[in-house]
Structure 1
């Protein structure tokens, strides 16, 4: 539930920020130019939030508010730039199409060996070897690992 709320907060904060910038775009001259400028701002803000902020503090703005952290699998380390960019592109390009795929019905969904390579098999599995966990669970995990090695 926290993950979905974090995604909703991320989307809301991005749209709110772009909404505040819309006045500057409307004076840019022409509807097409204004729409293009808004789309560019949305993409840049999304990239900054999902990739750059996550590299810096292991979470986007919505995840920070909800107490969720992003970790690299299997060692629970800090994810790299490449995996965060892949994860961002996956969320930007593949996830918005999911309602359409679900409307087509379960018979149309590939499963097993027919499943496309980029599609996760579990709802919590991530494309780029990155996973979201609660901040408290990450602290407990690190304490347990330190206890085993210490």
Structure 2
């Protein structure tokens, strides 16, 4: 007799989950990262635009104080943090990952990743994405997939056989 939840979905018996999840393709990983990055940049740009509109009166607002660039940077980082950590903790994926059909799981057993692991993954991803990845692309890297940080990995959202 199969166990079902409240909505009639068959529950997986304990131990039936594959111990090693099937990793998502590099194209999907980079596609999700591009969508997430574009969303963060758009959020920052909109914040900067709203700042300029709110500060503009009869004269041109001063851009020398760094308030505009600080605001844009803070919104970009804040949006990225909420998208990559909080949304992933709730929905198992950021907006970009959900669009391309991937999710973030624990590397050890394919279960839901904890918020602390997701925060460490976000910090590692920012450091990797801003330093090592551009250098690898400039130096014609080997095309190896990016590393998985903090014991979590990106898999296909549906069960995809190898």
Q: TM-score, normalised by structure 1?
A: 0.73
Q: Which residue of 1 aligns with 2:92?
A: 58
CA RMSD of aligned residues (A): 2.2
Tell me the number of residue pairs that the alignment of Structure 1 and Structure 2 aligns: 124
Q: In terms of mean alpha carbon deviation, does 35-44 or 11-20 score higher?
A: 11-20
For residues 11-34 of structure 1, give each alpha carbon's deviation from its aligned partner in whole angstroms, at most 9, with x where no partner exists.
111112222222222245642011
The answer to whether 1:127 aligns with 2:162 is no
Runs of 4+ with >6 A deviation: none
Q: Secondary structure at the match of 2:119?
A: helix
Return 5+ residue gaps in structure 2 as ranges: 1-26, 56-60
Give the greater-gyration-radius structure (CA): 2
Return 5+ residue gaps in structure 1 as ranges: 107-121, 141-150
Among 33, 50, 54, the residue aligned to 1:7: 33
Q: Which residue of 2 aligns with 1:23?
A: 49
Q: TM-score, normalised by structure 2?
A: 0.68
Contact kept in structure 1, 2:44 and 2:73, CA below 8 Å? no
Q: Which residue of 2 aligns with 1:68?
A: 102
Bigger relative contact order, structure 1 or 2, given CA contacts below 8 A and separation 6+? 2
